């Protein structure tokens, strides 16, 4: 509310300054025309300056009004020749007045038309190319305005995680209809909140701090309904998976894109196809940053000899003796920090580096078994290998060649 009042006050001050400027220009030019000898001199055309400026400030009505004022200022009371005391013929100043009015009106009309076209272009730029919703540019602009007003708010990012599959394998139009239906439901849930579209499969809700307290519960009801029941639309019954990321802004110097990123980080928790509501906290960003850092270092871990294998003994409890060993990979990053396999193995699987690690472990295990055999210890060793690797011909052929070359059992 304070921001609206401040904006109104700023507009009033700006308007007052414009009026004073136009008034000063008209008076100054009128005096200058009189001092220089009257309307017979070319200086009377200087009055076009306040007329055109008025058209720019207030449109065609402003240009028309100031055109009349300027026509009268250089009209019946202004001599044609001041020094000889010759007054203007009425047809002279009336024709000039009509010309001023016409120029003011037409200039203002053209400027109004340009403004209207620019406004329409701006509105198109602020609309989603996919849906009849405002886009991220409008969202970021609104966030900046709310931050300037000092209000707190919540940004809710809604990701439809299986929308691409629905679009590709079921029905393209159905995917758009699902998002339109969701947008209307979230608008109804959030009252006066605004729903935005960022990407084809993502909606955003901007919630002001003075909104209805129960809106989150209503949103949760929508999520639960979509999670529990398939939706019937366009002759299909489809399950829609939704993930909501919520970022609560409580002050601070953050840009709109940073705030949006935090909401997005929040919904990235949980499984990809799992529905749910997730809230952002700073530890999430730290974890994501750590994962990105680890991902880059993992690619060089084998070359830098940072990976090593430990062997966990297996004991036959009935015979109370060693029955074998299990090869377990470990990573000592930069020779200092230990990174747990529960962290780097999932990352390796995600980026396709797990084959390199598996080959490293397999090769080390074969070498280790050779050493044990040379010392008279015939110990079996188990290695963790994924099903994907076992059915991969290149991997199995490589393993067979390695076993044959080392003469391992």
CA 294 – CA 297 distance, rounded (Å): 5
**Per-residue pLDDT tens over the stretch 129-151:** 888 889 999 999 999 988 988 88
CA 401 – CA 393 distance, rounded (Å): 12
Boundaries of CATH 3.30.70.270 in the chain? 136-280
**Per-residue pLDDT tens over the stretch 382-400:** 888 877 777 777 788 888 8
Does the domain at residues 136-280 carry the CATH identifier 3.40.50.2000?
no
CA 72 – CA 64 distance, rounded (Å): 13
pLDDT-wise least confident of 50-64, 130-144, 286-300: 286-300
Look at the domain 289-406 and name its fold: TIM Barrel (3.20.20)
Residues 6+ apart with CB under 8 A from 252: none
Q: What's this model's pTM, rounded to 2 decimal places?
A: 0.59
| pLDDT level of residue 264 (50, 70, 90 thresholds) | confident
At residue 46, does pLDDT exceed 70? Answer: yes
Cβ 352 vs Cβ 389: under 8 Å: no
Average pLDDT over residues 260-268: 86
Boundaries of CATH 3.20.20.450 in the chain? 289-406
pLDDT number for residue 211: 53
């Amino acid at each position: 509310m304070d921001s609206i009042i401040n904006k109104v006050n700023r507009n009033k001050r700006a308007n007052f300054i414009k009026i004073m400027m136009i008034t000063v220009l008209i008076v100054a030019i009128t005096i200058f025309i009189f001092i220089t000898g009257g309307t017979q001199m070319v200086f009377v055309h200087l009055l076009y300056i306040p007329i055109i400026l008025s058209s720019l400030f207030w449109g065609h009505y402003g240009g028309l009004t100031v055109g009349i004022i300027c026509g009268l200022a250089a009209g019946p009371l202004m001599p044609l020749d001041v020094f000889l005391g010759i007054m203007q013929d009425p047809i002279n100043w009336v024709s000039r007045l009509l010309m001023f009015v016409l120029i003011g009106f037409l200039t203002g009309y053209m400027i109004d038309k340009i403004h209207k076209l620019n406004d329409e272009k701006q509105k198109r730029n602020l609309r989603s190319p996919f849906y009849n919703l405002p886009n991220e540019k409008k969202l970021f602009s609104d966030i900046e305005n709310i931050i300037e007003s000092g209000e707190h708010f919540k940004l809710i990012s809604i990701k439809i995680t299986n929308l691409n599959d629905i679009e590709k394998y079921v029905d393209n139009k159905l995917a758009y209809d699902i998002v339109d239906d969701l947008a209307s439901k979230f608008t109804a849930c959030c009252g006066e909140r605004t729903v935005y579209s960022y990407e084809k499969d993502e909606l955003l809700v901007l919630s002001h701090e003075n909104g209805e307290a129960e809106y989150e519960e209503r949103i949760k009801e929508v999520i639960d309904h979509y999670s529990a029941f398939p939706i019937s639309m366009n002759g299909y019954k489809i399950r829609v998976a939704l993930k909501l990321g919520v970022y609560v802004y409580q002050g601070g110097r953050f840009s709109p894109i940073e705030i949006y990123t935090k909401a997005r980080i929040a919904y990235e928790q949980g499984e990809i196809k799992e529905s749910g509501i997730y809230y952002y906290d700073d530890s999430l960003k730290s974890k994501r940053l750590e994962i990105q850092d680890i991902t880059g270092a993992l690619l060089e871990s084998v070359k830098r000899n940072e990976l090593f294998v430990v062997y966990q003994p297996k004991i036959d409890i009935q015979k109370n003796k060693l029955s074998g060993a299990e090869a377990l990979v470990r990573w000592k990053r930069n020779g200092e920090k230990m990174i747990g396999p529960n962290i780097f193995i999932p990352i390796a699987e995600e980026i396709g580096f797990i084959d390199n690690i598996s080959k490293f472990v397999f090769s080390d295990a074969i070498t280790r078994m050779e050493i044990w055999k040379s010392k008279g210890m015939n110990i079996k060793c188990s290695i963790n290998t994924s099903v994907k690797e076992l059915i991969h011909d290149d991997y199995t052929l490589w393993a067979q060649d390695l076993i044959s070359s080392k003469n391992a059992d």
